[in-house]
């Protein structure tokens, strides 16, 4: 089974990214051959600041390695180190109906947020399809907001296979139900564009202060509370095993347990999970040559695989000229 996912380097990674995409992808590395990459070509559709793009790309590399990416087992690379993906994107463009892209929510949402509607932004899902198809991926772990892009990928793969012969594996999205949408401080989807995030590697004091600001209803300390309606609980249960989750549910229902208590428990769970990752990240930061070497080797492995699919796709459409008619 080949697993593939990517993440844009367009800001500090947060708990929505971690539980929505990173943790499922990192868990799947045990079950198959995983390809994980930093989607810096995609980020260029919204980040036009050279230093920021470079820094964010580096930070994502550190974040993933710190959170448990195993660079021996998993192929980890920068998207821009595999330029073959653009040629495949062009071949796919030739079978991409305009209407399919016009229906993409993510394009409409980004324009609504004020990002300039460039061709790159519009064609974003075609490049994403090329990312997925070029490695013959079976499973794509992503948060719910990316599901439509994986569906576009499936449509394009089927259309291409149908017109030109079987070249691509048809991928499936992988979205664990319990983490489909991680809420932010205000209860909306956690997203850097809503300013409601809890960063993975932010200053710990500030992180605790942000956790204390999570919006709750105004029930008093002694009132029984409904865990299923609470943002604090929704975040806590992502960290907790069954026993701790049940214990907190019972506390909510029993009364005399305030939201402040729940927030403290959440902050402790956050610290318990991320303290070892933080230590590992500091170590990686002190060894940039190692990190660069991981990315370079990853790109080498990725390019070898990418070239195989690209050759087949070129041949299928009639772009290979090796002496044959």
**Three-class SS of residue 186?**
coil
Residue 110 annotated among the catalytic residues of the structure: yes
Q: How far is the CB of 22 from ligand ADP (least distance, A)?
A: 8
Q: Which of ligand TRP, ligand ADP, none sits in contact with 6, Cβ below 5 to 8 A by type?
A: ligand TRP
Interface characters, 120-139, with ligand TRP (x: CB under 6 A): --------x--xx-------
Per the annotation, the verdict on 189 as an active-site residue is: yes
Contacting ligand ADP (CB under 6 A), which of 17, 57, 137, 309?
17
Q: Is 79 in the site for ligand ADP (CB under 6 A)?
A: no
Q: What strands lie across the sheet with 75-78, from one edge to the other?
A: 75-78, 33-38, 2-7, 139-141, 172-174
Please state, in angstroms and rounded to a whole number, the distance separating the CA atoms of residues 38 and 17. Answer: 13
From 12, 147, 159, 192, the catalytic residue: 192
Among 2, 3, 4, 8, binds ligand ADP (CB under 6 A): 8
Q: What is the smallest separation between the CB atom of 309 and ligand TRP, expressed in angstroms? A: 14
| CB-count burial class (<10 Å; 0-12, 13-18, 19+) for 194 | middle
Q: Decide: is 8 part of the binding site for ligand TRP (CB under 6 A).
A: yes
CA-nearest of 106, 146, 143 to 14 is 143
Which DSSP state fits 272?
A: H
Tell me if 178 sits within 8 A of 324, measured CB to CB. no
Site for ligand ADP, residues 127 to 146, rule: CB under 6 A: 142-143, 145-146
Q: How far is the CB of 15 from ligand ADP (least distance, A)?
A: 8
Task: Tell me if 134 sits within 8 A of 84, measured CB to CB.
Answer: yes
- Nearest-angstrom CA–CA distance, 32 and 240: 25
Does 182 contact ligand ADP by CB under 6 A?
A: yes
Which residue ranges make up the site for ligand ADP (CB under 6 A)? Answer: 7-8, 16-17, 20-21, 142-143, 145-146, 181-182, 189-193
Which residues are tagged catalytic? 110, 189, 192
């Amino acid at each position: 089974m080949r697993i593939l996912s990517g993440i844009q380097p367009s800001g500090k990674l947060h708990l929505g990214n971690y539980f929505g995409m990173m943790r499922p992808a990192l868990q799947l590395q045990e079950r198959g051959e995983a390809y994980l990459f930093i989607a810096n070509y995609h980020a260029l559709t919204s980040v036009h600041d050279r230093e920021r793009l470079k820094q964010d790309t580096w930070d994502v590399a550190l974040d993933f390695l710190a959170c448990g990416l195993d660079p021996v087992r998993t192929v980890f690379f920068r998207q821009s180190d595999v330029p073959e993906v653009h040629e495949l994107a062009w071949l796919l463009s030739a079978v991409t109906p305009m209407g399919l892209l016009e229906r993409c929510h993510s394009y409409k949402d980004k324009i609504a947020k004020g990002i300039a509607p460039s061709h790159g932004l519009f064609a974003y899902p075609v490049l994403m399809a090329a990312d997925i198809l070029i490695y013959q991926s079976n499973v794509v772990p992503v948060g719910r907001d990316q599901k439509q892009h994986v569906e576009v990928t499936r449509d394009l793969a089927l259309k291409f296979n149908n017109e030109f012969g079987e070249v691509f594996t048809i991928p499936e999205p992988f979205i664990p139900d319990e983490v489909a949408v991680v809420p932010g401080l205000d209860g909306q989807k956690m997203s850097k564009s809503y300013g409601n995030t809890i960063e993975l590697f932010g200053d710990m004091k500030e992180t605790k202060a942000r956790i204390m600001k999570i919006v709750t209803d105004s029930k008093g300390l002694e009132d029984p509370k409904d865990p299923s309606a609470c943002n604090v609980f929704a975040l806590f249960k992502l960290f907790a095993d069954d026993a701790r989750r049940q214990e907190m549910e019972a506390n909510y229902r029993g009364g005399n347990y305030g939201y402040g208590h729940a927030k403290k428990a959440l902050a402790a769970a956050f610290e318990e999970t991320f303290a070892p990752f933080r230590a590992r990240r500091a170590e990686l930061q002190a060894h940039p040559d190692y990190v660069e070497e991981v990315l370079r080797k990853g790109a080498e492995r990725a390019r070898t695989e990418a070239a195989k699919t690209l050759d087949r796709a070129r041949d299928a459409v009639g772009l290979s000229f090796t002496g044959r008619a």
